[in-house]
Chain A
């Protein structure tokens, strides 16, 4: 069990550019979550997948954000036309089973800085 991995760990981009982050969940975890964490705050939910289906999206996820999990394994989160307000840590988590209350296991995060 290698844990949740995220790539890249750090990303610096200029305003208006597109960025894509990748998350590899723990093997055989069928739920995958994306959160955003800004400085001094707790993580805020963005979206989650059960296998390849995206089941819930937060209002925080504007039209510039899109997430996919094409084969129910890894997931990508793309931000188009980045804005300075998108600067944050983007966290991915996975959990092993369906049902409420399952522990979510977090990756190390991708820290995004938009200049």
Chain B
């Protein structure tokens, strides 16, 4: 079974700084997808970024980028130029041969002014 581990339960960063959220996973599958989702306080979960395991190039979306290390089974999220609106719970998720997503426990990020 797949597992997703987010070892940092909580982080804080100053506005405009860069922060990196870590995620590791365990799987025996070769073809899979990895996701970072954001869940702002009392709001619904939205996709931040998505990475296909077969792609060597790291995914980027504006201020968000990932460092995907397939051999190490590591998938970290870098947020550049942090904004107050980035304050949220961040969940790393694995999508493999089964249709379900397997989520980590999440990490609470607070961006301070």
Chain B CB within 8 A of A69 CB: no
Smallest CB separation, A30 vs chain B (Å):
12
The secondary structure that dominates the A interface is loop
Docked pose: A104 CA to B95 CA in angstroms: 10
Q: In the complex, are the beta carbons of A105 and B47 less than 8 A apart? A: yes
Contact segment of A14-22, A36-44, A70-78, A80-88: A36-44
Chain B CB within 8 A of A109 CB: yes
Which residue of chain B is the closest to A99 with respect to CB atoms?
A: B99
Q: In the complex, are the beta carbons of B106 and A42 less than 8 A apart? A: yes
Q: Which residue of A4, A42, A45, A100 is within 8 Å of B31 (Cβ)?
A: A100
Q: In the complex, are the beta carbons of A106 and B95 less than 8 A apart? A: no
Q: In the complex, are the beta carbons of A104 and B44 less than 8 A apart? A: no
A-B contact count (CB 8 A): 58
Smallest CB separation, B56 vs chain A (Å):
16
Docked pose: A101 CA to B47 CA in angstroms: 13
Sorting the interface of chain A by its residue count into under 10, 10 to 19, 20 to 34 or 35 or more gives 20 to 34
Q: In the complex, are the beta carbons of B99 and A44 less than 8 A apart? A: no
Residue of A55, A100, A109 with highest tally of chain B CB at under 10 A: A100
Contacts of B88 in A (CB 8 A): none
Chain B CB within 8 A of A48 CB: yes
Chain A CB within 8 A of B46 CB: yes
Q: In the complex, are the beta carbons of A33 and B103 less than 8 A apart? A: no
Chain B CB within 8 A of A29 CB: no
Q: In the complex, are the beta carbons of B47 and A48 less than 8 A apart? A: no
Q: In the complex, are the beta carbons of B106 and A100 less than 8 A apart? A: no
Smallest CB separation, B47 vs chain A (Å):
5
Q: In the complex, are the beta carbons of A101 and B95 less than 8 A apart? A: yes
- B interface residues, Cβ below 8 angstroms from A: 4, 31-33, 35, 37, 43-47, 50, 52, 91, 93, 95-106
- A interface residues, Cβ below 8 angstroms from B: 4, 31, 33, 35, 40-45, 48, 55-56, 58, 91, 100-101, 103-109
